[in-house]
Amino acid sequence: MENTINPDTKRPYSITMIERLMHDIHFAVDPHKSSKKQALDVIHRLVKKFPIKRSPMRLRLTVGEKNFSTILEKLGTWNGEIVTMDESGTQFSVDDQKMAARLANTMCNSLKGRPALGRIFQGKEPPQFVAIFQPMVVLKVLAGIESIGIRKSTRP
């Protein structure tokens, strides 16, 4: 529930606010049920009563100037939104929950072997880094060094 926002105000819900909302719907913890089942149940009940939405994912990319124009053209077809761009024009952020993973996959294919580095943000803290090189995408957790996933490209 840390990554939730009010869609009307676009402001995140604090944990104390979520606790207050749980109290308003008269939710009580049952020690005989699994915590995952109870969490899913309370989320469904909260969504029915209050305006709650997942916070949008932000993808910050750092690409070379040669690749920047290619990515900028593709953003129009992906319905992406550039939030910030630095002075050199090589770093920008994209705000869209569904687009972040699709952008990483498509960028991997469109860069044709040229390296780029991306960072995925969810809510306040960046949960993972995405290093994009052909032919693989490696996801690493910020706190640790271990990789949490490797997806090989389908391109030859």
Which comes out higher in pLDDT, residue 136 or 65? 65
Confidence grade of residue 107 (pLDDT, cut at 50, 70, 90): low
Banded pLDDT at 54 (limits 50, 70, 90): confident
Question: Encoding tokens for residue 149?
Answer: 């996933």
pLDDT of residue 74: 73
Residues 143, 97 within the same domain: yes
Q: Where are the beta strands (DSSP E) in the chain?
A: 4-6, 11-12, 53-54, 57-62, 82-85, 91-95, 116-122, 125-133, 136-141, 147-152
The answer to whether residue 24 scores a pLDDT higher than 50 is: yes
Q: Which two tokens stand for residue 54?
A: 């997942």
Q: How many domains are contained in the chain?
A: 2
96 and 80 within one domain: yes
Q: Are 30 and 38 in contact (CB under 8 A)?
A: yes
With 0-12 / 13-18 / 19 or more C-beta atoms within 10 angstroms meaning exposed / middle / buried, residue 128 is middle
Higher pLDDT residue, 39 or 135?
Answer: 39
- Do 73 and 34 have their domain in common? no
Domain CATH code at residue 50: 1.10.10.900
Q: How confident is the model at residue 6 (pLDDT cuts 50, 70, 90)?
A: confident
Sorting pLDDT into bands at 50, 70 and 90, what band is 155?
Answer: very low
> pTM of the entire structure?
0.45
Task: Determine the structural domain holding residue 23 and report its residue range.
Answer: 4-54
